[in-house]
Structure 1
Amino acid sequence: MPDPFIDADITQPTGTSSAYLAAVRLKSPNKNIFRALMSLASAALLIRVMGLVYQIIVTGRFGLGDAMDAYFVAALVPSLVAQLIGGTVEYSVVPVYIRVRSQEGRKRASELFSTLLNVLLVGTVVLMVVMFIFRFEVVHLSAPALGSSSTGLAASLAPFIIPILVLQVLISLLESILNAEGQYGWPAYAGMLVPLTTAIFVLVVGKYFGIVALCVGGLVGLCLQLFVFFIRVRQAKLVYRLNINLRNPAVASILAIAGPALLTALIIQASPLVDQIFASSLSNGSISALNYALKLNSVPVGIIFVSVGRAVLPYLSYQVSSNNMKAFKETLRLYLWAVAITTIAMSAFMTILAHPIVQLLFQRGAFTSEDTALTASTLVGFTLGLAPMAFGFILSKAFNALGKTRVLMFVTIFSVSANAIFDYIFARLWQSMGIALATSAVYCCTMFILLFALRRSIGKLNLLTPPGEVLTVIWKLGLGNNYIRWVSWKQRNSSWFRIQYNVSRQLGRVGVIFAVFIAGMIGMFYNSLYALRVSFGAIIILVFLRYPYVLLIAWALINAFIGSNLPFFNGNNFLSALTIPTFLLMACVPIRQTLKRMPVLVFLAIYLLWALASIGLSPLGTVPFLIFWLSLVDFAALSVLTINVITTRRRMLGLIDAILVPTTFIALYGIYGWLTKQYGVLDSTGVFRAYSIYNAAPGLSLLLSIVIPFAIYRTFTLRGIKRVVGLIVTLILLVGTGVTFSRGAYISLPVAIIVMICFLPSRKLRIGMLSGVVALAVMLVLLETVGHVPLFDRFFTQDIASINGRTYLWQALLQSFDPTRLLGNGLQASDALLASLTVGSIATAPSNLFIGTLYDHGIIGVILLSLVFIVMLVGLIAGLRKATGERRMLYAAALAAFICMLFQSQESNDFWIQAIAVYFWILMALPFALNWSTPKPLPEADEASLDETTQPRMKVVRQEMLEHTSAGPGV
């Protein structure tokens, strides 16, 4: 495990540096970049050497006992949070600071610097206090299985370690600012103070104060480094002011970049975890070989890539701020060539000498020759990806300079997903070397994706043309004549290289077909049935990517049956075929504008991230946890997709019809089961309750309850005989809900319909719907009294006081709840607890959404979930106040569905059941869809006039942005 004090100065996500002043003074910025590169690389090397000496001293003093375990456990969370925040600060501050410094002057730059420093200082101090108060929980989160004595020692060390959070974040900010002012040497070499000071403390007072000397030495080293940085900031003539100006437009720009950058950093942390998960299923020693190979591979990454990134990013940012894209491309091309040449040579060196290197460094004691061979082969797999890794690293800096961190976020999501897929395939073939090769393959894919995206953003890059500096080196090496002869030969035979566009396109298609054919042949060799399914699935996914509306319709038609009692829809990867294109399409939709339309998605995303934090606590395994959690992410993704794809009224009505088709079938199936006493359960009260294709009646009643208001809305949009069909469908859904005999639905659905009536846009509609409700109520009374159908008998049974035994389940969960566990007990921990207890008389689920969430995700989790419902309710009510005509009726239907969901969630936790939640979030998104961007009155013609196309998506987004800008900052 890396040391938090030392690792902060060695492996930070490559600071962001910029040298505006030096770039102005020198005609060629490349000279200054080279000087900065030499300073950064030499400092990184010295820090690694000093870190090695530090490690020798520490291990010699403390060994590998409980004290060091407690130290690493106590330092894990603060150091990880500091690196995430510090890396995000570096990525987001430099481009904006350089723009302010170059365009608005030093005074405005000083104001921005002061605001950032004060905000980070206050925020990190608050976070430090929270960590100190909950230090026992933080230690338990870091190592749940740690012994009681080590846990107590780690908690006692926390007050000496937690302050590194504040110090490291402030150092990251100051380093970014200093690099932006053209100062590289002092900030880089100041990093040696931390290992040097820590080593001195351990040597001098370590035998007296024990492990505390290690902690205090690290804090003193960080304080000295911070002091040096403040001196250099003062010499840079930056004026510090004790103020916070959050209205500064530059702060908003930094926050816009910081959000995707932080999410990218969080996602990046998952890659080593994914590798380790797959390595854990391989032969003994695979995990160790993977980690040893990664350490060796990190040497060129830490020295070359980090140094080049720090040296180049500031100049790229300055060139972007001055709108000098020609210089931007030239600088980028030069360093891509330089890094490519260096890494290719290094890859060849490390590949050839992998075995001797590992043997020299590790083969002694318990490290056998077999371990050397395994580690060396794994190292070869990693070194093959050094060149594409270097390309991706430098290209990511280009996107940072351009402020396009959202592209990096989606590329990172793709890389983590692709890494898991490649690990699964390659690990079966080549063990730990296969995992390393999978990582290299991912770097190749991300390199091409980034190159394609960058070319789309700024035009041709001309990467195949050698930069002038490279040609100069070639000439000095005496190879100029050879290069001239090669260029002349190429020009004479240029006709061979000029392929018409149509021909090149056909060749590309043939190449793709050939590659797919080869992949199919390999798949057929290993698992023919699986390969065939993947082939058909790939075709379907491509269709969905080309036609997103078809994807939405597929979700509406198929989702209700996935996970049901129908065998065909289970085990055939229907969910994967729908989820993969849904996630991929998120890269093509305007997320920010979508969140402005439906703000509840922000709070849903925060809740899902909070749930993800419990991955180490959940009783589920890591892979089942991620699968289930991704199914929850589907809900937010589908809302985003619905808002952006529903651009016409016909599309919206077609989607509602697609939802009504399966739910009507399910309702009819339930009615048939109730009539024939099948597909249901005989309640303890003697009432037969239908559950159709599911396993419980409450789930069926909840699904039908949220769909019925939209069936009513759809009926009002029809005319003539079609309205009769709509009435029949609505009646079928009502009867299907009735035969579940669910008390929650019997209460919430009438209340929801009455609320919907109150918000209908016209008096005629209200009177008509109210008449229908009265007629339905009369029919229910007749069925109860004359037909002797026990509709209301379950309201007068003995179990009504305990709500059919649910209160016993809630009591068991509340008694086991520990409020000091901030993250709760993990996803589905309440189900696992109740399964181990013999409590109540119904199932083993919490049967209450909020109590279950309280146990699973703690007090913060239930607060976040409550905010989801509150913000959704506020959004619906605000929409009802503004909307008129048909859109008001749709808002009323959504509010009715919301009431049903909220009320019935008090007796079940089916809010997260996919068969229900997918429809709920799609339906909730309909009032916010793009087809309402240009309000239109309810048409009086028949359905032939319903296909009125609204404004194109980008035009709508642009119009919204202009309206928001014209409204002024006070809006």
Structure 2
Amino acid sequence: MLSTTSARLVAVKIKSANKNIFRALLSLASANLLIRVMGLLNQVVVTAKFGQDQHMDAYYVASLIPTTLAPMLASALEASVIPVYSRLRTKGTREQASKLFSTLLNLLIVLSIGITILLLFFKTELMTLLAPGTRASTLLIAQDLTPFIFPVLALMTLNSFMECLLNAEGKFGWPAYAGMLTPLTTATVVLVGGNSFGVLMLCIGTLLGQLLQLGVIIYRAHKSQIVYRPVLNLKLPELKPIMSAAWPALFGGLISMASPFVDTIFSSYQSAGTIAALNNALKLNGVPTGVLFAAVGRAALPYLANQAAIKDMRAFKGTLRLYLWIVGIATLALTIFMTFGARLIVSVIFEHGHFTAKDANTTSWILVGLSIGLLPTAIGFIVSRAFSALGKTRVLMGVSIFSVFANAAFDAYFGRIWGGFGIAFGTSLYYFCTMIILLVTLRMMIGNLNLLTPPKELLDMLWKVGMGQYYIKWVNWKESGMRDFGLTHAFRKKVLQIVFALAVFAAGAAGAVQNGTLTVRIAFGSLVVFALLRYQYLLVLAWACINVFIGSNLPLFNGNNLLSGLTLPTLLLLFYVPTKEAFQRLPALPVWLFYFIWILLGMGISPIALQEFMTIWTTQLDFLAVSVLVVLVIDSRKKLLGFVDAMIAPAIFIALYGLYGFATQQHGVVDPTTGYFRISSIFYDTPPTLGLYLSVLIPITIYRIFTMRSFLKICAGIAVLLLLMVALGLTFNRGTLLAVAIGLVVTVLFLPSSKMRGIAFGAGTAIVGLVFLGTTLANIPILSRFANSDISSLNGRTYLWQALIDHFDPAQILGYGLKSSDVLLTQLQVGFGGGVIATAAHNIYLEAMFEHGIIGLILMLFGFLAFGWCILKKYFTGKSFDQKLLLAIAFGTLVSIVIQGYESNDIWNQGVGIYFFILMALPFARYWDNEKPSSTTLESEVQEQVDPVNEENALTEQEELATV
């Protein structure tokens, strides 16, 4: 528990802190106001000189990376350096502070220069990524501007770092006012050379302005006796806490940095000038942003950090509540003013020179969309500073990840409907979501915030201005007057419930008028979603039982939004359950998360439609989300075995359905070389997909057999295993049969006892013999396709792979986008003998390289290697016999899937691949923490049962097992 101080000490500390904060706030707010005013003047000059055409679009695209990346680095520095540097100044010496400052500055110089060089090297790919929908001429202009605008990154980062250090020293004025030099210099340079050199002067002016600002800040640092030393001591003890706090904030900032990138990407698909209009609206929106809550956040952070350091939560909550009220009231007034006065504001400020009335209309609507989100933006900004002060920067990382996905989804939907205004509105909407998440999380961490209670300082201010009596009257009316009218808390709660019910009814009625069937689906689907959110084990059972049928050739499971009903609660639960614990239990999951994020970055270059891209990508993200839930939800043996049975049950039906298809010559294809019928069961006409699915379920069935202790159950389990193996054989898929055989051999080698390995080799040989005997008696030559002449080209797959390699460019960092290999092969129509071989790569490695670049391929390979490393590490350190058995099964399946990846890409099929990820997650579930170490053989299990009553049953069980 966080301790609190006495009331008197708290009052003194709050008063002192507030006095210092107000002093700093005055400097920062006034400086920010002047900087924003200078920035607006600069923007007036720029828009009057260049208007809002493709040249301005090109400039904003080119400047997006440095102007977004630099504040992200500054935010990470502010969250990590100020608390550590403040403590060192208080408890350490000037020399220690100087060494820390010099080391950090030198590290930052090297890092920023390196990033700048890297950005310049990949400038072509970056410009294409940021604005995939713009014209080629605009992209060329942007590429030409990058050498003059990318170096701004290093200067902005150094300026932000020096400003943070001066703020920690209590120096707020000079660093803040120095920011005016950049817009003033830029405007001057544009006026002098804008007509001759165009938007190039914008880049040069920004560069010169940042240099002048750095010079002023260095001079002020020298006056403050901040001494620079040419040292780079990486062994300083203060670096560890700084890095520990910086990397989550840095990662969170990197994720949140994707939000303006997402806005730019979607804006590039709008009409020319939309990118410039969005940035002009952001400039106007940035005036209250910088003057109010940015200034408050920067001024209050050091004092919030000090209050958190001494665990004075009462003072911490009081300071936070006070400035949330101040910023909230001011921002609410600004929201009303800027929303209803947007057209007038834009006309007065921008509508000059080349800036036309049409440009003003476009910009004003975007400003309205952004102004709607001013209040949640302000509250979220201040609350995020509270998390930084508490040192809980990892929370910000998780919220930032959510923000990117929410922003992309809202931009995609509303941008398609309302254009530029829709993109701005989507941005405001995700700010509302972020604000709610931050407030709820902070309340869970430090207790009730009492945000609806007016701060004492505001009440004192009301009394001083003679308005205290009105507040007293309002409180009396609220507490007594409302009670006289029967407006009690219970009554108001009931009214709110009725209003909410009426709102839902009205929405349902409106929906019924538009689309009655869809409304009914949403109504019943929402009940199911809420139930799955509440009962998480039921959710993972639904994935195990239903998932494989979604998208199959069974009409019952198609067109009913079943996948959406499972995906929505699954992804929402990622922000509720302790995902961090799942990542710690199975470290391979973060690697896959990076891979899926890398795929998302190629959203703008993918040849498929945006809606289709998001559907496929979200489905792949389900693999990760379900794995997290499996790790966290499976916490007992009963749940584990029930979940395994839930996976095996649909496999039995699918295998029987495949055998029925073989008997009736349906649901499959005829092999053109051998003439044999290859079953595909519910997977349309794709036997390899059925084979891949069974290659995962067969090992799971083997594990389930080993967990049985009844003779009849074991016989039933072996019958199911034989059924699945026969169905696998009838796919006549050579690669799958070979991979499964190798995977099972690997599994046997890793079984946790020599006795079990011997039994498995013997039983396995017998079962394979039975399968071959049965198929031979039925005149079904399973191995006949191994003798075909097309085996050298792997059924023509090598021609497909060669086509992809011939069209691959390693310089494409992000590749060609999701499903680009399918689009290319569809266009090329690769084939021989007058027929087309296929329109898919049938190789997950070449597919990943072509679609997501070499980095994407490396990330995917790291994902598989991480699975293997985690399994082997747990196998050699684990003590549970059953867990080692499951680990052996999982490792063998991993080997099998990696081999099959060379001829099939069905691992990314939603109905198949998710079972592979589930199997990889099962050995790391919570259940194994409670599992007691067991003996290594079945014999010792029986021998340890010394109870005379159970001895006879134990011996009988041993005989039954030996018979099997």
| Alignment TM class, shorter chain as reference | 0.7 to 0.9
CA RMSD of aligned residues (A): 3.8
Q: Which moved more, 1:443-452 or 1:819-828?
A: 443-452
CA distance in 1 between counterparts of 2:194 and 2:12 reads: 50
Alignment match, 1:635: 623
> Quick check: 1:901 aligned with 2:897?
yes
Alignment match, 1:881: 876
> Quick check: 1:335 aligned with 2:304?
no
Q: Return 5+ residue gaps in structure 1 as ranges.
A: 1-22, 946-971
Alignment match, 2:912: 916
CA distance in 1 between counterparts of 2:124 and 2:918 reads: 41
> Quick check: 1:744 aligned with 2:735?
yes
CA shift in 2, pair 1:290/1:523, >3 Å? farther
Alignment match, 2:679: 690
Q: Which moved more, 1:532-541 or 1:209-218?
A: 209-218
Q: Which moved more, 1:444-453 or 1:746-755?
A: 444-453
> Quick check: 1:244 aligned with 2:230?
no
**Equivalent in 285, 305, 319 of residue 317 of structure 1:** 305
Query: What amino acid is the match of 1:925?
Result: A
CA distance in 2 between counterparts of 1:637 and 1:92 reads: 30
Partner SS state of residue 574, structure 2:
helix
Alignment match, 1:852: 847
Partner SS state of residue 522, structure 2:
helix
> Quick check: 1:925 aligned with 2:915?
no
> Quick check: 1:730 aligned with 2:721?
yes
Query: What amino acid is the match of 1:737?
Result: L
CA distance in 1 between counterparts of 2:810 and 2:550 reads: 36
Partner SS state of residue 852, structure 1:
helix
CA distance in 2 between counterparts of 1:207 and 1:382 reads: 32
Task: Give the Å deviation of 1:55.
Answer: 4.3
CA shift in 2, pair 1:147/1:276, >3 Å? closer
CA shift in 2, pair 1:419/1:196, >3 Å? closer
Q: Return 5+ residue gaps in structure 2 as ranges.
A: 1-10, 943-964
Alignment match, 1:573: 561
Task: Give the Å deviation of 1:712.
Answer: 0.2
CA shift in 2, pair 1:637/1:703, >3 Å? same
CA shift in 2, pair 1:521/1:313, >3 Å? farther
CA shift in 2, pair 1:228/1:427, >3 Å? closer
Partner SS state of residue 669, structure 2:
strand
CA distance in 1 between counterparts of 2:232 and 2:141 reads: 38
What's the CA shift string for 1:333-352, capped at 9, x where partnerless? 22222223223333343455
Q: Which moved more, 1:133-142 or 1:424-433?
A: 424-433
CA distance in 1 between counterparts of 2:482 and 2:139 reads: 71
Identity within the alignment, %? 46
Partner SS state of residue 269, structure 1:
helix
CA shift in 2, pair 1:468/1:734, >3 Å? same
Partner SS state of residue 678, structure 2:
strand
CA shift in 2, pair 1:380/1:155, >3 Å? closer
> Quick check: 1:713 aligned with 2:703?
yes
Matches within 5 A, 1:244-283: 244-245=234-235, 248-255=239-246, 257-258=248-249, 261-262=252-253, 264-266=255-257, 268-269=259-260, 272=263
CA distance in 2 between counterparts of 1:160 and 1:730 reads: 66
8 Å contact from structure 1 (residues 267, 412) kept in 2: no
What's the CA shift string for 1:843-896, capped at 9, x where partnerless? 211111111111111111111111111222122222222234111110010011
Partner SS state of residue 603, structure 2:
coil
CA distance in 1 between counterparts of 2:772 and 2:198 reads: 80
> Quick check: 1:623 aligned with 2:616?
no
Alignment match, 2:750: 759
CA distance in 2 between counterparts of 1:151 and 1:374 reads: 22
**Equivalent in 215, 219, 224 of residue 212 of structure 2:** 224
CA distance in 1 between counterparts of 2:463 and 2:415 reads: 46
Alignment match, 2:381: 393
CA distance in 1 between counterparts of 2:493 and 2:471 reads: 31
CA shift in 2, pair 1:548/1:496, >3 Å? farther
CA distance in 1 between counterparts of 2:464 and 2:61 reads: 54
Query: What amino acid is the match of 2:738?
Result: I
Q: Which moved more, 1:815-824 or 1:36-45?
A: 36-45
8 Å contact from structure 1 (residues 47, 191) kept in 2: yes
8 Å contact from structure 1 (residues 603, 868) kept in 2: yes
Task: Give the Å deviation of 1:662.
Answer: 1.2
> Quick check: 1:675 aligned with 2:666?
no
What's the CA shift string for 1:462-520, capped at 9, x where partnerless? 33333333223322322233334444555655966999998887666555544433432
Task: Give the Å deviation of 1:630.
Answer: 1.6
CA distance in 2 between counterparts of 1:854 and 1:111 reads: 45
Partner SS state of residue 551, structure 2:
coil
Q: Which moved more, 1:915-924 or 1:336-345?
A: 336-345
Task: Give the Å deviation of 1:897.
Answer: 1.0
What's the CA shift string for 1:545-575, capped at 9, x where partnerless? 1111111101111110111112222222111
CA distance in 1 between counterparts of 2:469 and 2:428 reads: 36
What's the CA shift string for 1:749-784, capped at 9, x where partnerless? 111111111111223322222112211333354456
Task: Give the Å deviation of 1:212.
Answer: 5.6
Task: Give the Å deviation of 1:704.
Answer: 0.6
Partner SS state of residue 584, structure 2:
helix
CA distance in 2 between counterparts of 1:211 and 1:253 reads: 41
Task: Give the Å deviation of 1:814.
Answer: 0.3
Q: Which moved more, 1:883-892 or 1:142-151?
A: 142-151
Q: Which moved more, 1:848-857 or 1:865-874?
A: 865-874
CA shift in 2, pair 1:744/1:425, >3 Å? closer
Query: What amino acid is the match of 1:242?
Result: L
Partner SS state of residue 301, structure 1:
helix
CA distance in 1 between counterparts of 2:128 and 2:415 reads: 32
CA distance in 2 between counterparts of 1:369 and 1:225 reads: 35
What's the CA shift string for 1:380-429, capped at 9, x where partnerless? 56545443443333223223322334444555555666667778998999
> Quick check: 1:842 aligned with 2:833?
no
> Quick check: 1:34 aligned with 2:22?
yes
Query: What amino acid is the match of 1:936?
Result: K
Task: Give the Å deviation of 1:643.
Answer: 0.9
8 Å contact from structure 1 (residues 293, 376) kept in 2: yes
Query: What amino acid is the match of 1:834?
Result: L
What's the CA shift string for 1:683-741, capped at 9, x where partnerless? 12122111111131111101110121111011010122111121111111111111111
Q: TM-score, normalised by structure 1?
A: 0.85
CA shift in 2, pair 1:272/1:128, >3 Å? closer
Alignment match, 2:4: none
> Quick check: 1:544 aligned with 2:535?
no
Task: Give the Å deviation of 1:747.
Answer: 0.6
CA shift in 2, pair 1:315/1:268, >3 Å? farther
CA shift in 2, pair 1:115/1:545, >3 Å? farther
CA shift in 2, pair 1:116/1:926, >3 Å? farther
CA distance in 2 between counterparts of 1:302 and 1:659 reads: 55
The number of residue pairs the alignment matches comes to 918
Partner SS state of residue 801, structure 1:
helix
8 Å contact from structure 1 (residues 607, 861) kept in 2: yes
Task: Give the Å deviation of 1:797.
Answer: 1.1
Matches within 5 A, 1:129-148: 129-143=117-131
Task: Give the Å deviation of 1:255.
Answer: 3.6
Q: Which moved more, 1:662-671 or 1:850-859?
A: 662-671
CA distance in 2 between counterparts of 1:864 and 1:556 reads: 27
CA shift in 2, pair 1:915/1:938, >3 Å? farther
Q: TM-score, normalised by structure 2?
A: 0.86
Task: Give the Å deviation of 1:905.
Answer: 0.5
CA shift in 2, pair 1:680/1:379, >3 Å? same
Alignment match, 1:346: 334
